[in-house]
Structure 1
Amino acid sequence: MIKWSGILAAWILAGQALAQGHQLSGDQVVVNSRRHWQNWVYAPGTLEFTAEGGVRAHQLRKNINATADIVDYLRLYTPNTLAKKEPEELTLLDAVQAGSNRQGVPLALDGDPATYWEPSPPSEGVDLATQWWFVVDLGRFVFAKKIVLKFVDEELGDPFLLFDVLVSDGTKPARVVGATTPEYKTVMRLLQPNKSQRLFEVDLQGENPEVQSEGLRLVQVVVNGSDFGRGREVTQGVYAVLAAGEQGAVEYYKRLADGREIQVDLDIYRDLPAERQGSIHYFRRERPRLAELEVWTEGDEILSGTLARRGTASAPLQTLSLGGFIDGDLESFSRPFVGVVSLGAENDREIFFDLGSFFWIDSQRLAYGPFHATFGDYNLEFSDGARAADGTL
């Protein structure tokens, strides 16, 4: 009976050790599993645990594609339009609006060149640009250096014949009272029909020379033109084996006395004498397919994760929330200096951020909303958390 009690006691102690983030083994304290590490206290988002029980610092990257982590940011600061969903319910589709084939847009954001967004066949008599478009919300405001569009390889489809790329910082136009949609700026407009170019890079570094980037949150692609049933000319043999949905137009030509040819209807062609029947041209239908949309930025942004890391954002003389400073939304804001009228005290207008962990910082950017006052003059100070002799940072 005593022996069994001893075994039971050992199991209880072992269970308590596991819950505390370690395991007792003889004269050793062992930490060697994901379950152990997850019971330690650390700033969320700063560590990664391997399946083998290892632990490493979360990597902060330079030159990132901001479409790769859209869902992470939507879950971190969920827009009001998605407030009815729990963060874990959000998917990449929640970041997309589209006039055609909305379900397919995430395939142009998945990093796979073999998947793509292809607009659905348009309605006749309706402007193509009002149907073939989509918008991607990056989940936060970024300083973008370039936008890249990659179309599928030739055997898979065609590039867009004519299209525009527009961007928005997410704010509504000031000149339109009661506006409900963001204001967009055109950063690329293709004016010549395109049949062959499958890679487009939109350089944004000249848009704002001071920061060598363009501040944006939304990217819109609008297709303005298509060759529809005349995507690419093929031989009669190739045309015959195409699927019915890929068989495009067939053009018939009448041969003139001087050797030139003019296009005619099939009925007219059939009635022509053999010597006047000219060439016949066969076409595959256009297959407009965008494989990837990429938005390249300076790198991972640190400040937005402050509160999730259990850091703080505060202004000494205010109790108002400062979350609007770091949520990636230019339309949300905080007023940290409401009621502060003294210009004499050094710290009257101080904003303090504890990032929640230690970081090496490459650069700093400020973005002001279009309707908000700016900091006319300010000092930016950093600390590694070390204390001076008087206890201050």
Structure 2
Amino acid sequence: MSATQAQPTEEQVAAAEAQIVEQSKRIDFYLTEYSVELLAQKVRDGEYVVPSYQREFTWEEDRKSRFIESLIMGLPIPFIFFWEMPDGRLEIVDGSQRLRTIEEFVHGRFALGELDPLTHLSGLKFTDLPASRQRKIKNRSIRGIVLNEHADEAARLDMFDRINTGSKIANKAEIRRGALDGPFLNLVTELASTDELAAQAPMSDKAKDERGYEELVTRLFAYGDGLEDYRDRPSDFLFSYSKKMNEVFAENPDLNAQYRQRFFDVITFVSKVFPYGFRRSAGGSFTPRTRFEAIAIGVDAALKDDPSLKSADPNELNVASWLESEDFSQLIRSDGANAKSRLKARIEFVRSRLVRDAAE
């Protein structure tokens, strides 16, 4: 710990320990082992369920070939992670590409590509192999970890995300979008693609491709609607909120127009009043998430408190006087940014300054 870093308080340490215990309760599992033959059959029979957020991510032909080559050579295969569904079937939390590739190969629909070192296997199918080799491949076993049925949806998605940290795979916004298709997230996707948002909150092409704008729009609505259930874990909170709002929007379609208007009210106000939008400077090419949260949700809260702000004179509000202040900079620092107290503080800072300055 550096000399300038504050010593954690007893309350902080106790809160960290309580959070560890609470999160650990969500992961209860057992180990198992399956033969390749059984795995292929269960995939073919639909006994394993591939969740929607994984279906669109498929391996290229050469990656499938290298995986089968490793299997044939007897190299260690990573664990397959499952979740035991209430009906007894197993949902694949991680490993769907390996399982689907095994099924394709064993049941004769996949011919191996160019291999190295097993060059003589290139172009062959499973059925081209001698019966003895087919049996040996079928008898190989792969270990699995099965989460019990009490592991909630958010815990499973979090595990999938962590297991695939080093891979080009779905991020949290992509997973949420795939797993929770519905009217609310359809609106989020629509608003995330607007030119108005892009103009005020620029981001890199990589961030756009990873649904960065959808993450910002979701946070605007989720945090703006209240933090009562927030427990310092954004991914869990946003997942639960999105799932709930899909149901709410389905029951009340009129909310679609209300939330769309709310979004544009915020973006329009920011473009009129904040000199650089959500950027740090006029030439800024990216949007810090904490800065976006503070401004967007602070503005949303201020407009709820005082709708007349929409017509306020930007010169009278003079947000530049506090936008680059040390107080504001401290609130949007990244360290501890997801703590509920920090999140509420930066939103309240912007809300109170706008409401106060409009009243003066």
**TM-score of the two chains, using structure 2 as the length reference:** 0.27
Larger Rg: 1
Higher helix share: 2
Higher strand share: 1
**TM-score of the two chains, using structure 1 as the length reference:** 0.25
